[in-house]
Amino acid sequence: MRYMIAMFMLFMVSCQNSPALQSPEVEAIAFSSTDSTMYYLEAVEHSVLTPKGYTRAAAHFVAGDSIIKSDAANLMKAGLTCMNQDGKYRLYGVNYLILLTNKFPQDRYAPEALLQLALFFDSELGGSERAVEFLRVLLKRYPEHAMAKDAQALLDLMSVSETGEIQTVRDWLNNE
């Protein structure tokens, strides 16, 4: 009887896929939380994830919060990944980008984070006033940055929205 059980176990193990045939996402699940967070940061960097992979990445970023919060690049990757997910991770992404702009204001990602926050608040959360605040902070902190022109143009466009013209432009762009 023991011999049959041993043979059955040997048969089951030999029929499984070899580790070389497993996808990187399956492999990453076996790592600890820290390793998984680092794995997904690299995967996001190289844009090799499926849409479900990005959702898994967002979950690992939230679980590995201390790693994410220690570096501006990690905050940017995690913030954008989380913000582009449906459901519970979106606000984590917003928090990561806000933290980036406050904790690392001189980092090269800070102006882009402010612009991304403005776009997100305006388009996804319907918070035009908050979006305007982010754009004004970008213009005040980084007046010479390349994104300052884009921020000013967006700010000008948002100020026109009171007359309803901006909604016409949005409708047109959304239908294209």
The confidence band for 27, taking pLDDT boundaries of 50, 70 and 90, is very low
Look at residues 96, 123, 142 and tell me which one is the last residue of a structural domain.
Answer: 96
Residue 91 confidence (pLDDT): 87
Choose one of 40, 71, 96: the last residue of a domain.
96
Tell me the per-residue pLDDT of 38-75, one tens digit each, with 9 for 90 and over: 888 888 888 888 888 888 888 888 888 888 898 999 99
* Domain annotation covers residue 6: no
Q: Looking at residue 161, what is its pLDDT? A: 57
Same domain, 80 and 130: no
Q: Is 103 contained in some domain?
A: no
Residues 133 and 165 in one domain: yes
pLDDT over 90, % of the chain: 18
21-35, 46-60, 113-127, 145-159: which is most confident:
46-60
Whether 82 and 134 map to the same domain: the answer is: no
Asked whether residue 116 falls in the same domain as residue 91, the answer is no
pLDDT above 50 (res 6): no
Same domain, 88 and 123: no
Q: Is residue 9 part of a domain?
A: no
DSSP-assigned states of every residue in 21-69:
GS-HHHHHHTS-HHHHHHHHHHHHHTT---HHHHHHHHHHHHHTHHHHT
Tokens matching residue 36: 């998984």
| Same domain membership, residue 176 and residue 112 | yes
SS3 89: coil
> What confidence score (pLDDT) does residue 119 get?
87
Q: What is the mean pLDDT of residues 101-129?
A: 86
Q: Do 30 and 89 fall into the same domain?
A: yes
* pLDDT mean across residues, the chain: 76
Q: What distance in Å separates the CA atoms of residue 58 and residue 60, rounded to the nearest whole number?
A: 5
pLDDT computed for residue 167 by the predictor: 64
Number of domains, the chain: 2
Instruction: State the pLDDT confidence band at 17, using cuts at 50, 70 and 90.
Output: very low
Same domain, 26 and 92: yes
Do 85 and 117 lie in a common domain?
no
| One domain, residues 170 and 123 | yes
∠ CA 53-63-21, nearest 5°, is 35
* CB-based contact 84:112 (threshold 8 Å): no
Residue 37 pLDDT:
86
In a domain, 101, yes or no: no
Residue 159: domain span? 108-176
| Same domain? 88 vs 121 | no
Shared-domain flag, residues 80 and 120:
no
What is the arithmetic mean of pLDDT over 167-174?
67
From 31, 62, 96, give the residue that closes a domain.
96
Burial (CB count <10 Å: 0-12, 13-18, 19+), residue 166:
middle
Q: What percentage of the chain's residues is helix, strand, coil (to nearest 5)?
A: 75, 0, 25
| CA 118 remoteness from chain centre | 15
pLDDT tens-digit profile of 144-164?
Answer: 888 888 888 888 777 765 555
